[in-house]
Amino acid sequence: MSLPNIRLIETPDELHEVEELQRLVWPGSETDIVPMHMMITVAHNGGLVLGAFEEEKLIGFVYGFPGLETTPDGPRPKHCSHQMGIHPEYRDGGIGFSLKRAQWQMVRHQGLDHMTWTYDPLLSRNARLNISKLGAVCTTYRESEYGEMRDGINAGLPSDRFQVDWWINSRRVEKRLSKSPRPPLTLRHVYRSGVKFFYTPQTRTDGLIVPPEHLPPFEERLLLAEIPVDFPGLKAKDFALGRDWRFFTRELFETAFAKNYIVTDFVFDANEGNPRGLYVLTHGDSTLDEFE
């Protein structure tokens, strides 16, 4: 697949197309659709709506706006990236990365150096993009961030989210977005590093993995925390197990962040038909990079 054409979206007609794409990406709840009038107000007042096009067909978008964050020195401006959606027929083709890279360029031109957004930490596809490929980090876990959501993806589970930090002028991010980025981590890097798994989920006879009943002690400076690689599929097969994973990972990440761990990377490995996904949590400046 060739790279899409990325451009700013500012007209009512094109923003109506973004509304329609949202309905494809998050089906089932009209109240969760960001309306055209809101996006056009954002676009005309310092925010950004970027679209990815295959010829004239809209196949992806990203949408955000300037915001403020609290610091010890007072309020500080940032860019709040609120939504990104990719047409279901075009996923896993690099469109999300292209949209975020264009957003990165535009926000830097606005003179900002910090961008934040939220995502469900149990979605490995999002973790691979946000943490591994883009170089965002995370120290913030938000319980039920959006309250009860009713769309076809989120309905029934607490809307817990990571809020990630993307330090867009950092060497880490610039390297991830360069023409020769660091290859994504795989289990080969883990085994070569000698870093131990924080826990090993049990695998049921139906192939679904089960979280531990209790958290292990936080003793190492590098932790590898496994999540289901296909959480939507797991939840569809066993909703109660999906809830177990939600509450286990809530305890895991809230405890880790309280102990000053940082999510710095994500390991994905196809593992000969048995894919696995693991977060890398670090204490201090250590990362798996130093072991490669």
Each residue's pLDDT tens digit, 230-256: 999 999 999 999 999 999 999 999 999
> What's the rounded Cα separation, in Å, for the pair 38 and 15?
10
Please, what's the b/e burial string for 9-38 (b: 16 or more CB within 10 A of its CB; e: otherwise)?
beeeebbebbeebbeebbeeeeebbbebee
In this predicted structure, the answer to whether residue 291 has a pLDDT above a threshold of 50 is no
Q: Could you list the residue range(s) of the whole structural domain that residue 28 is in?
A: 5-176
Band (146; pLDDT cuts 50, 70, 90) = confident
35 and 164 both lie in a single domain: yes
Query: Highest mean pLDDT range out of 99-103, 142-146, 287-291?
Result: 99-103
Residue 290 has pLDDT above 70, yes or no: no
Q: Model confidence over 172-227: pLDDT tens digits?
A: 999 999 988 888 888 888 888 888 899 999 999 999 999 999 999 999 999 999 99
Average pLDDT, the chain: 92
Q: Do 148 and 27 lie in a common domain?
A: yes
CB half-sphere exposure, 258, CA atoms < 13 A? 8
Whether residues 229 and 122 fall in one domain = no
Please check whether residue 201 lies inside any domain of the structure: yes
Look at residue 18 and tell me if it is in a domain: yes
**Domain edge (last residue) among 149, 176, 203:** 176
Task: Judge if 83 and 24 occupy the same domain.
Answer: yes
pLDDT of residue 292: 37
What are 63-88's pLDDT values in tens digits?
999 999 999 999 999 999 999 999 99
pTM as predicted: 0.92
Helices vs. strands in the chain: H and E counts, helices first: 8, 12
CA distance 278 to 227: 6
* Domain co-membership, 110 together with 213: no
- Given this model, what pLDDT does residue 154 score? 64
